[in-house]
Structure 1
Amino acid sequence: MLFCLICTDKPDALELRLANREAHLKYWGEAACVKIGGPFTNDDASVMNGSLLVIDVADRAAAERLVANDPYNKAGLFQHTDIRAWKWLLGPQQ
């Protein structure tokens, strides 16, 4: 089942994001469930300020566990996280 994880950083948290970025990328790489993902940015892409991941997991509980253990989440980076079931309709599927 596909879920979108829409995560919004706390204001002025770029240093916290950068300090935990390597662990975050390693965590999701090892989870082996990400279909697409990347950071939200400001309009000129100079500052990362959130994350979007589309993950393929068994159910919402699995998605919630993964979010709870994300190094970004554990570090307190996110102001808000939205987990939404999603159906892939457009674009190439991998």
Structure 2
Amino acid sequence: MHFAFLCKDKPGALQVRLDTRPDHLAYLNALNAEGKLAFAGPFLGDDGKPTGSLVVVKAETIEAAREIAANDPYAKAGLFAEVEVKAWNWVFNNPEA
């Protein structure tokens, strides 16, 4: 089952994002190696700077997905104002379909 993380950065937290980015990328690479990461990337503001993140993972339950979201270094660093975890059905362009 897929779950989408809709993450909104706190205002003025760009430096937290930049400082934590290497650890965040290492975390995503580890999820990818485990076959848990479907895709990920930042939302961008009108100025082209990141304002949040979209991460889609594979997990057995929403609780497991929430644990993955909570363990992201961005979340641990306090980057996000909010994180919404939602079950998601990948219908179009799913490479596994």
TM-score, normalised via structure 2 length = 0.89
> In structure 1, how many angstroms separate the alpha carbons of the residues matched to 2:94 and 2:75?
29
The C-alpha deviation readout for 1:29-75, integer Å capped at 9, x for no partner, is 10221111100011342x11100011111111111111111100110
- 1:1-94 aligned within 5 A: 1-32=1-32, 33-45=36-48, 47-94=49-96
> In structure 2, how many angstroms separate the alpha carbons of the residues matched to 1:82 and 1:27?
19
Q: CA deviation at 1:93?
A: 2.0
> Secondary structure of 1:35's match?
strand
Indicate the RMSD between aligned Cα atoms, in angstroms.
1.1
> In structure 2, how many angstroms separate the alpha carbons of the residues matched to 1:31 and 1:88?
18
4+ residue stretches of structure 1 with deviation over 6 A? none
Bigger CA drift: 58-67 or 6-15? 58-67
Unaligned runs of 5+ in 1: none
Paired residues in the alignment total: 93
How high is the sequence identity, in percent, across the aligned residues? 41
Return the letter of the residue paired with 1:21.
Answer: R
Unaligned runs of 5+ in 2: none
